[in-house]
Amino acid sequence: MARKGEQMEGIALLEDNELLIGQLYRQFAARLPRQVRLWAGLAAEEMRHAWMLKTVRPRISASLGARRDSPRFDVDSLATFRDFMKGLLYGTLEKDLSAEGALKTALYIQWSLQEQEVFRSAEGDPCELRTVLEALAAGTASHAEKLLKALKRAERSATGGGWIGRNEDHAALLDFLPVPEETFNHLGYFPV
């Protein structure tokens, strides 16, 4: 049975992850002045998502009960993602960064969040938590759409084409998405 503390820890990890994504996007805004509006806007939205999670935690604490099914949040996976984001954030501080690499990295992050359904609300969630999670899921989808459009524009202007077709299957695109080596491989998260 999942304990209330594990559920609160899961929500706190979601908050940490949103903060780290926002910090990464702020770093992109600072290092990519031609895309500052995109990155600054996304960073602000991620910070707002973190604030939503932070403010909902104390209000729902009393209404979270023990769950008879599996734990509400996969705390280990969320902690691994947090560590991944920390490594990515600090890794991008040390490396040269292209606009295309930043877009692909951010798209990978957003699609990963969608594929893992980290903001899926569940039966038994307090109404206020369900509302926040639904807003975060919608925000993640919106971010992925903005990033995909920006990447398509960047690739069209650079090459007259691009690797992204009309395929809307995000899982297939994740497998095909070229993950920039300079961003990820030095962190040891992907085999070389």
Alpha carbon 99 to chain centroid, angstroms:
18
Q: Within the chain, where are the H helices?
A: 4-31, 36-60, 75-94, 99-116, 127-159, 170-176, 181-184
For residue 85, what are the β-bridge partners?
A: none
- Low-confidence stretches of the chain (pLDDT < 70) are 1-4, 65-71, 158-192
pLDDT of the residue at 189: 38
| 153 within 8 A of 79, measured Cβ to Cβ | no
Amino acid at 104: K
d(CA 47, CA 22) in angstroms, rounded, equals 6
| 177 within 8 A of 155, measured Cβ to Cβ | no
pLDDT tens per residue across span 86-141: 998 888 777 788 899 899 999 999 999 988 888 988 888 889 999 999 999 999 99
pLDDT of the residue at 164: 45
Amino acid at 28: F
User: How is the chain split into domains, by residue range?
Assistant: 4-187
pLDDT of the residue at 79: 92
Amino acid at 61: S
This prediction's pTM: 0.78
pLDDT of the residue at 74: 86
> At the topology level of CATH, where does 4-187 sit?
Ferritin (1.20.1260)
Residue the block writes with tokens 């990515």: 88
Amino acid at 132: V
pLDDT of the residue at 16: 95
pLDDT of the residue at 95: 76
